[in-house]
């Protein structure tokens, strides 16, 4: 096997928000090979969303640099090298569901017929066939999130940045869309950065799981997921799957993830 | 799975369509009934006050007699009577004048709305312009319109083609009242776009124009429409006031000036003119309301 080419390279990235003087990210170094599926996992506020935004050039790092396909992050954004799914659906009220999914295709200058055809494909992929004419506010929260996933996948970007895309979904839909996402990933040979709060989801989907720790946001450790073969429903019953879940959980725990801020404060007081 | 989902969707859609159709019809008759009831109640209040104060001789807060409060039937009869000997009825005269004023007001409304929106859009794109210009825009509205109307007539009329002489200047005066609410609300509306949507557009490397057209403009529409509703009635008032210094006799402003002089003899004619003027304002308002219903598509609770 040849060495996979680096798609995303994050080197020495620190991000401090002037407001409140929060260090959201400190000295993050991370390389993503082509076709990798990386999950970011960590407690709330550890900077997962911020890291995703820095990669997408939606937030400028205070120091350090990001390159995508050898280009600077702003250049990659201008070239529309990635698609992004935000933590909230962020749909346009005044557009129908179909028109929302079409948005990136309009930006790419696709003609109407081609856009329509793709939208139908995407709607059936996220099981919303027949809802194209609805407005977002007529859908449930989970359905809205599926529309936003369809919108990000519509133009088949080689790099997908996904911020807790399945967070608002029920367990059944979530597992089905996990499989769906894996098959899309394999078909398109895309590279995925996936933020999640679910350890089992991270292990099930990823080639590597990046565990982050808060205040300041750092990489606590990286777990290589060496599960055999293409993932399927059986993967979740594989003993190796459980070992890896435990490994990720231990890493999170080591970094005090089980402690709520109040407990942490209490512990500090006891120490004193 | 997907075909059953499609079935469920189409069932849901057709019931939804039926429900909205029925509730719309129901809502419309309901609203029309409510409006009719309000009008009848107001007329009854007017005539009731009139009768009671005349019968008792009460003078507080103001007395009722043929000059201060002509009877309803006197006003309605004035509509049917000819305005002058051997002329058509006052009603048809007033309708003609109202159409003339409507032309001025409509031109002023369009002019003011376009200028106001363009101004709002320019200010929305530059904090510097906003800081520099906004105080003057607000200041412009503190000058009484009657004070600048004669100057506008003198400035504007010589520049107009012959077909627009007179009424064109009045339209400009009307636009002066119209542009302000539109400019201020457009600025607010264009800045009201969800920052996450702007972030999404940034991820598509969208140009400033694309962001304006696809995000900021649609997001501003509820704000713009609430301004247009204010501007619609303001444009009619502006047109009527603009006619006064212009010496135009063809519109409602001229009629008001005229009937004012004869008020002590025939108060009902001024009252009748006022009714037509306010109806014109209502028609303008309803037209904007209708346009809003047709254009603004968003969650019912998010309509501004
Ligand atoms: N625009 C901003 N201005 C100021 N502080 C910010 C901003 N965005 C994020 N932060 C801060 O940066 C830290 C990391 O935020 P971030 O949203 O990246 O966390 P997260 O890991 O995605 O959390 P969650 O799992 O809850 O989504 C937080 O402390 C947050 O308060
Ligand atoms: Mg987040």
Give yes or no for residue A44 CB within 6 A of ligand 1: yes
**How many angstroms separate the CA of residue A203 from the nearest CA in chain B?**
28
- Ligand 1 atom closest to residue A217's alpha carbon, by position in its atom list: 14
On the question of pLDDT at B304 being above 60, the answer is: no
Residues in chain A with CB shorter than 8 Å from the CB of B6 are 129-130
Ligand 1 centroid to Cα of residue A75, in Å, is: 25
Q: Is A15 in the pocket of ligand 1 (CB under 6 A)?
A: no
**With 80 as the cut, is the pLDDT of residue B10 above it?**
no
The pair of three-digit structure tokens given for residue B290, joined into one six-digit string: 């209708």
Say if CB B90 and CB B82 are below 8 A apart.
yes
Partner residue facing A80 (CB), from B13, B204, B297: B204
Q: Which of B115 and B15 is assigned the larger pLDDT?
A: B115
> Ligand 1 atom closest to Cα of A212?
21
Q: In a structure prediction context, what are the per-residue pLDDT tens digits for chain A, which is 272 residues long?
A: 445 588 899 999 999 998 888 889 999 999 999 999 999 999 998 999 999 999 999 999 999 999 999 899 999 999 999 999 998 889 999 999 999 999 999 999 999 999 999 999 999 888 899 999 999 999 988 889 889 989 998 988 889 999 999 887 888 888 888 888 888 888 878 899 999 999 999 999 999 999 998 888 999 999 999 888 788 888 888 889 999 999 999 998 876 544 455 545 554 554 54
pLDDT score at A229? 74
Distances (CA, A) of B297 to A147, B162, B230, B293: 18, 42, 21, 8
Ligand 1 neighbourhood includes A26 CB (under 6 angstroms): no
Res. B303: pLDDT tops 60: no
Contact assessment for residue A37 and residue A207, using Cβ atoms and an 8 Å cutoff: yes
Cα-trace Rg, chain A? 19
* Residue A52 CB–ligand 1 contact under 6 Å: no
Contact check, Cβ <8 Å, B197/A90: yes
Residues 6 or more apart whose CB falls under 8 angstroms from that of A126 comprise A146, A147, A149, A150, A177, A180
Among the partner residues A93, A104, A130, nearest to B204 by beta-carbon distance: A104
Q: pLDDT for B48-75, tens place per residue?
A: 999 999 999 999 898 999 888 999 999 9
pLDDT of residue A258: 47
Sequence-distant (≥ 6) Cβ neighbours of residue A248 within 8 angstroms? A41, A199, A202, A203, A209, A211, A223
Per-residue pLDDT for B282 more than 90? yes
Give the per-residue pLDDT at B1.
Answer: 42
In tens, the pLDDT along B150-174 reads 899 899 989 999 888 889 999 999 9
CB distance A82 to A159 below 8 Å: yes
User: At B2, is the pLDDT very low, low, confident or very high (cuts 50, 70, 90)?
Assistant: very low
Q: What number is the average pLDDT over the span B218-241?
A: 94
List the structure tokens of B211: 């962001």
In sequence order, what are the residues at sequence separation of 6 or more whose Cβ sits closer than 8 angstroms to the Cβ of residue B67?
B263, B264, B267
Higher pLDDT, B303 or B184: B184
Q: Among positive and negative, which fits the CA dihedral A264, A266, A268, A270? A: negative
Q: How far is A245 from chain B (nearest CA, A)?
A: 32
pLDDT at B298: 67
ipTM here: 0.87
pTM of the model: 0.83
Q: Do A79 and B205 touch (CB under 8 A)?
A: yes
Task: Please list every residue in chain B whose beta carbon sits closer than 8 Å to the beta carbon of residue A110.
Answer: none
| Ligand 1 lined by A48 (C-beta under 6 Å) | yes
Mean pLDDT taken over chain B: 88
What is the token pair recorded at A236?
A: 């979740």
Inter-chain contact A86–B200, Cβ cutoff 8 Å?
yes
User: Distances from the Cα of B294 to the Cαs of A151, A174, B213, B290, in angstroms?
Assistant: 27, 38, 19, 6
pLDDT score for A141: 83
Please, where are the H alpha helices in chain B?
A: 2-56, 72-80, 90-124, 127-140, 145-156, 167-190, 195-203, 208-211, 217-246, 252-261, 267-295
Query: What tokens does A183 get?
Result: 């098959």
CA of A116 vs chain B CAs: smallest distance (Å): 17
Nearest 5 degrees, angle CA B166-CA B172-CA B175?
A: 145
Which of A16, A18, A21, A22 for mutating ligand 1's site (highest number of atoms within 8 Å of CB)? A22
Residue whose tokens read 């109040």 = A262
Measured over all CA atoms, what is the biggest interatomic distance in chain B, rounded to whole angstroms? 81
Bridge partners (DSSP) of residue B39 are: none
Return all residues near A237 (Cβ < 8 A) that are at least 6 apart: none
Q: From A206, A200, A207, select the one nearest A241 (Cα to Cα).
A: A200
Q: Answer yes or no: is the C-beta of A60 below 6 A from any ligand 1 atom.
A: no
Q: What are B205's two structure tokens?
A: 């490397």
């Amino acid at each position: 096997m040849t060495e996979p080419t680096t798609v995303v390279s994050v080197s020495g990235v620190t991000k401090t928000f002037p407001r409140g003087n929060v260090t959201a990210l400190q000295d993050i170094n991370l390389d993503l090979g082509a076709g990798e599926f990386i999950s970011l996992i960590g407690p709330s506020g550890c900077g997962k969303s911020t890291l995703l935004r820095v990669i997408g050039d939606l937030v400028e790092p205070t120091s350090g640099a990001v390159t995508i396909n050898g280009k600077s992050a702003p250049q990659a954004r201008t070239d529309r090298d990635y698609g992004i799914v935000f933590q909230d659906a962020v749909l346009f009220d005044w557009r129908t569901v179909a028109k929302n999914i079409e948005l990136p295709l309009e930006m790419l200058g696709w003609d109407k017929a081609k856009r329509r055809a793709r939208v139908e494909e995407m709607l059936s992929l996220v099981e919303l066939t027949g809802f194209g004419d609805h407005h977002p506010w007529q859908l449930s929260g989970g359905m809205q999130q599926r529309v936003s996933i369809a919108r990000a996948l519509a133009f088949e970007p080689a790099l997908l940045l996904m911020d807790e895309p399945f967070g608002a979904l029920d367990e059944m839909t979530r597992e089905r869309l996990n499989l769906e996402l894996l098959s899309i990933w394999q078909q398109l040979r895309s590279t995925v950065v996936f933020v999640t709060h679910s350890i089992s989801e991270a292990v099930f989907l990823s080639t590597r799981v990046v565990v982050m720790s808060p205040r300041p946001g750092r990489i606590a450790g990286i777990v290589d997921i060496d599960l055999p073969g293409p993932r399927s429903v059986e993967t979740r019953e594989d003993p190796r799957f459980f070992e890896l879940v435990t490994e990720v959980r231990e890493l999170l725990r080591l970094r005090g993830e089980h402690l709520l801020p109040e407990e942490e404060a209490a512990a500090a007081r006891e120490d004193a | 799975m997907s075909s059953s989902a499609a079935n469920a969707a189409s069932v849901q859609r057709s019931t939804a369509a039926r429900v909205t159709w029925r509730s719309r019809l129901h809502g419309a008759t309901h609203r029309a009934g409510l409006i009719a009831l309000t009008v009848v109640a107001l007329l009854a209040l007017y005539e009731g006050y009139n009768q009671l104060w005349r019968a008792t001789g009460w003078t507080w807060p103001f007395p009722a007699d043929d000059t201060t409060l002509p009877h309803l039937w006197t006003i309605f009869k004035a509509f049917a009577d000819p305005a002058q000997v051997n002329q058509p009825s006052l009603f048809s005269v007033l309708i003609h004048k109202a159409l003339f004023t409507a032309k001025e007001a409509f031109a002023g409304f369009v002019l003011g709305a376009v200028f106001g929106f363009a101004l709002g859009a320019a200010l929305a794109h530059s904090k510097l312009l906003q800081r520099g210009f906004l105080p003057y825009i607000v200041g412009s509205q503190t000058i009484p319109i009657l004070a600048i109307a004669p100057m506008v007539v003198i400035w504007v009329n010589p520049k107009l083609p012959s077909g627009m002489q007179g009424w064109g200047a009045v339209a400009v005066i009307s636009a002066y009242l119209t542009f302000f609410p539109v400019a201020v609300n457009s600025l607010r509306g264009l800045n009201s776009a969800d920052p996450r949507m702007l972030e999404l557009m940034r991820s598509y490397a969208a140009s400033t124009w694309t962001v304006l057209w696809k995000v900021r403009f649609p997001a501003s529409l509820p704000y713009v429409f609430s301004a247009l509703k204010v501007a619609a009635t303001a444009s009619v008032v502006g047109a009527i006031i603009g006619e006064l210094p212009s010496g135009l006799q063809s519109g409602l402003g001229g009629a008001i000036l005229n009937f004012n002089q004869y008020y002590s003899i025939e108060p009902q004619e001024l009252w009748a003119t006022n009714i037509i003027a306010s109806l014109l304002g209502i028609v303008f308002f309803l037209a904007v309301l209708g346009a809003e219903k047709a254009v603004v598509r968003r969650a019912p609770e998010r309509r501004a």
